[in-house]
């Protein structure tokens, strides 16, 4: 028997060469992924097979020397998954995060991903995963915009011009050919300047850019509103969106959190999620009220269901719209709130696609594991 095993190492420059920034393909892969999830051909963590992952948080007052102290966005997280369909692959994204990284010129989170043979468990690839994660995070909002935004959408507001804002905009542009006007609401000039530079380089379709002073200015008259802000633990700190600001027919895309009036969500919006089972899992892991703990707006939908303000049928899975089981946008005036939760299967789908691109193009460094295992 041939017991030799090697695997591919892909650095971030390798990933770029292999197409990790191809947003059009990423949106297509994310749409196929969502259909695969709807069929049930996947496994994530936990007994319910829908867990987001396992997180390590640190104590406020560490009892041992050298143990890290709790701080803003300081954590480690493992996100394992198996994905069937056309992917047939297992793997795990692993990352450490610390907001203080930015003071060192580093990303808040530094991510790696391992892809494995689904049968033997042998490593197939170890890859830089910051761009995998960023682009798949934007790809899911792109699927939402494809099916939920008005066809004549021209104006997009990005509230939180960080990495998620950049890739979400890239995805919106890839599926909404009439988008030409951008409104930006950020906290700091450095992130706003970086965002504008990104738009000029990566999104030439955008011709008009306005930097907004207030959240209201950004939301008003926007066809797509993307909330990609970093929020704190207190719900009262979530940015508040007044119904009066929201344009008729707007799509509000939510990979982050915000406050809305309950009656607005329950009675005057269509509520759509990227994978209903994920929110059921969160509801189980983080008992009511789930939204303050998870900080993804789909858990607010589940809290509204718990309160009897809506029914389960009022929370629509995007895949039912993709497959024509449920109607998507029903009128040009309909306001739709779309929740994006983020799932490790997305990393497997996009990382696996880029890995196969790399193999086909001969990109990366092949590393040996062993010729023959010492103990078998």
On whether the CB atoms of residues 291 and 299 are closer than 8 A, the answer is: yes
Determine the average pLDDT of the residues in 223-248.
Answer: 91
Q: Average pLDDT, whole number, for the chain?
A: 96
How confident is the model at residue 42, as a pLDDT?
96
Determine the average pLDDT of the residues in 198-204.
Answer: 97
- Is residue 233 over pLDDT 80? no
Determine the average pLDDT of the residues in 276-301.
Answer: 92
Percentage of the chain lying above the pLDDT 70 cut: 99
- Is residue 237 over pLDDT 80? yes
- For 331-357, the pLDDT digits (tens) are 999 999 999 998 999 999 999 999 999
Confidence of residue 217 (pLDDT cuts 50, 70, 90): very high
Percentage of the chain lying above the pLDDT 90 cut: 90
- For 35-91, the pLDDT digits (tens) are 999 999 999 998 888 888 899 999 999 999 999 999 988 999 999 999 999 999 999
d(CA 73, CA 47): 27
The two most distant CA atoms of the chain are separated, in Å, by 69
Domains of the chain: 5-132+345-370 (3.30.1780.10), 140-343 (3.40.50.720)
- For 115-166, the pLDDT digits (tens) are 999 999 999 999 999 999 999 999 999 999 999 999 999 999 999 999 999 9
Pairing of strands 109-116, 123-128: antiparallel
- For 238-261, the pLDDT digits (tens) are 999 999 999 999 999 999 899 999
Determine the average pLDDT of the residues in 220-225.
Answer: 98
Confidence of residue 230 (pLDDT cuts 50, 70, 90): confident
């Amino acid at each position: 028997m041939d017991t030799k095993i090697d695997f591919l190492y892909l650095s971030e420059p390798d990933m770029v060469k292999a197409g990790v920034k191809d947003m059009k393909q990423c949106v297509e892969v994310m749409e196929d992924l969502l259909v695969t999830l709807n069929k049930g051909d996947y496994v994530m963590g936990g007994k319910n097979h829908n867990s987001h992952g396992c997180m390590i948080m640190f104590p406020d007052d560490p009892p041992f020397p050298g143990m890290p102290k709790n701080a803003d966005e300081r954590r480690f997280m493992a996100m394992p998954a198996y994905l069937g369909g056309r992917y047939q692959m297992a793997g795990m994204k692993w990352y450490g995060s610390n907001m203080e990284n930015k003071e060192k010129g580093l990303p808040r989170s530094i991510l790696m991903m391992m892809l494995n043979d689904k049968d033997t468990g042998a490593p197939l690839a170890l890859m830089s995963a910051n761009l995998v994660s960023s682009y798949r995070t934007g790809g899911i909002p792109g699927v939402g915009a494809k099916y939920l935004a008005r066809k004549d959408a021209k104006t997009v507001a990005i509230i939180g011009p960080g990495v998620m804002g950049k890739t979400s905009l890239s995805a919106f542009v890839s599926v909404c050919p009439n988008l030409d006007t951008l409104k930006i609401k950020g906290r700091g000039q450095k992130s706003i300047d970086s965002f504008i530079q990104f738009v000029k380089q990566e999104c030439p379709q955008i011709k008009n850019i306005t930097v907004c002073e207030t959240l209201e200015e950004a939301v008003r008259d926007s066809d797509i509103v993307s909330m990609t802000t970093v929020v704190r633990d207190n719900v009262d700190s979530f940015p508040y969106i007044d119904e009066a600001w929201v344009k008729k027919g707007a799509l509000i895309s939510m990979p982050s959190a915000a406050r809305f009036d309950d009656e607005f969500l329950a009675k005057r919006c269509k509520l759509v999620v990227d994978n209903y089972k994920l929110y059921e899992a969160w509801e189980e892991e983080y008992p009511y009220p789930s939204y303050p703990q998870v900080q993804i707006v789909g858990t607010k939908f589940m809290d509204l269901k718990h309160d009897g303000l809506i029914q389960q049928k009022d929370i629509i899975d995007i895949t039912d719209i993709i497959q024509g089981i449920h109607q998507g946008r029903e009128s040009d005036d309909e306001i739709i709130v779309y929740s994006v939760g983020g799932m490790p299967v997305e990393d497997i789908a996009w990382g696996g696609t880029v890995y196969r691109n790399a193999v086909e193009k001969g990109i990366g460094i092949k590393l040996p594991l062993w010729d023959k295992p010492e103990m078998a």
